């Protein structure tokens, strides 16, 4: 029996689906050296399974499961099924639907549905913890080139100093089209980074990851601002975009040092580095020891 077969048998026992063993399979959807996401099919039943931890210490399966529990029934996220502490994995509902494309961010009806879901997400209190963006950038840069580390920390700290204060809310922290599912509702997946923070970081992530232009960014802002109860400052969105770009550059370098391929990081790294004025090719960036 392979490790995959053994894990599948264990899953089926834990989920009381052993009777469907002959009609069951596990499909690997994504994988790193430390983390994997799988789709479990048992007859007509489907689940998502996330295994393992991550050395950045930021992604936490227990917190992810707690966030899914908090949002259960909200129509914003998949329903949680199980957290297995001994084997360090979670199981949750598989969400059918269409994965968002960038084009949908420019369609008025789709954008209204998205910002409505975002505003409802941000109406929740943080999950007992709050992410510190500066400490996160610093962590990702721990083994980076000294000059890059110094410059990114300077930019990130300068941006944080320009922000107005805001209440911490529950944020997704990885808000891009690949994590948005459209069926009857606009829902979000992949909550591994979810934590407390400023709501504009989710909007800024959409702007940065998809390189929205000024008109597209303004449409996103106006749609969201009309739905939230938070007292937000328009100029803070641009500042949060700088912080998101710092996080992206730092994270990409960290991931590359762990063995992720340039193809997985370059679509995010290149535009972020350019916006920050960094003339660096990620494939040339070697971590110092």
Q: Does residue 258 share a domain with residue 165?
A: yes
* CATH code for the domain in which residue 79 is found: 3.30.200.20
Asked if residues 219 and 226 have their Cβ atoms less than 8 Å apart, the reply is no
Query: Considering the entire predicted model, what is its pTM?
Result: 0.92
SS3 state of residue 38: strand
The per-residue pLDDT for range 187-196, each reduced to its tens digit, is 999 999 999 9
Q: Is residue 289 part of a domain?
A: no
Q: Is residue 114 part of a domain?
A: yes
What is the rounded distance in angstroms from the CA atom of residue 135 to the CA atom of residue 151? 15
Determine the pLDDT at residue 289.
30
Q: Does residue 139 share a domain with residue 69?
A: no
Measured in residues, the chain has a length of 289
Q: Does residue 22 share a domain with residue 53?
A: yes
Residue partners of 61: CB distance under 8 A and separation at least 6:
50, 53, 83, 88, 89, 90, 192
The per-residue pLDDT for range 173-223, each reduced to its tens digit, is 999 999 999 998 999 999 999 999 999 999 999 999 999 999 999 999 999
């Amino acid at each position: 029996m392979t490790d995959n077969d053994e894990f599948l048998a264990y899953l089926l026992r834990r989920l009381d689906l052993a009777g469907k063993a002959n009609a069951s399979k596990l499909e690997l959807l994504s994988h790193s050296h430390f983390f994997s996401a799988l789709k479990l099919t048992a007859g007509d039943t489907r689940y998502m399974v996330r295994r393992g931890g991550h050395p950045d210490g930021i992604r936490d399966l227990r917190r992810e499961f707690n966030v899914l529990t908090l949002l259960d029934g909200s129509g914003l996220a998949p329903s949680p099924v199980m957290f297995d502490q001994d084997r360090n994995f979670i199981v949750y509902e598989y969400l059918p639907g269409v994965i968002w494309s960038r084009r949908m961010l420019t369609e008025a009806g789709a954008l209204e549905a998205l910002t409505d879901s975002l505003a409802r997400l941000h109406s929740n209190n943080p999950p007992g913890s709050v992410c510190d963006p500066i400490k996160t950038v610093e962590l990702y840069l721990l083994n980076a080139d000294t000059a890059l580390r110094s410059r990114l920390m300077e930019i990130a700290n300068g941006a944080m100093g320009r922000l107005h204060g805001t209440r911490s809310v529950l944020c997704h922290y990885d808000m891009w089209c690949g994590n948005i599912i459209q069926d009857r509702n606009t829902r979000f997946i992949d909550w591994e980074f979810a934590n407390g923070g400023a709501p504009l970081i989710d909007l800024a992530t959409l702007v940065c990851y998809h390189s929205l232009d000024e008109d597209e960014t303004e449409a996103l802002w106006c749609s969201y601002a009309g739905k939230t109860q938070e007292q937000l400052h328009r100029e803070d969105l641009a500042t949060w975009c700088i912080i998101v770009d710092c996080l992206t550059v730092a994270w990409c370098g960290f991931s590359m040092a762990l063995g992720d391929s340039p193809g997985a990081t370059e679509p995010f790294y290149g535009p972020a580095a350019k916006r920050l004025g960094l003339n660096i090719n990620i494939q040339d960036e070697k971590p110092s020891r």
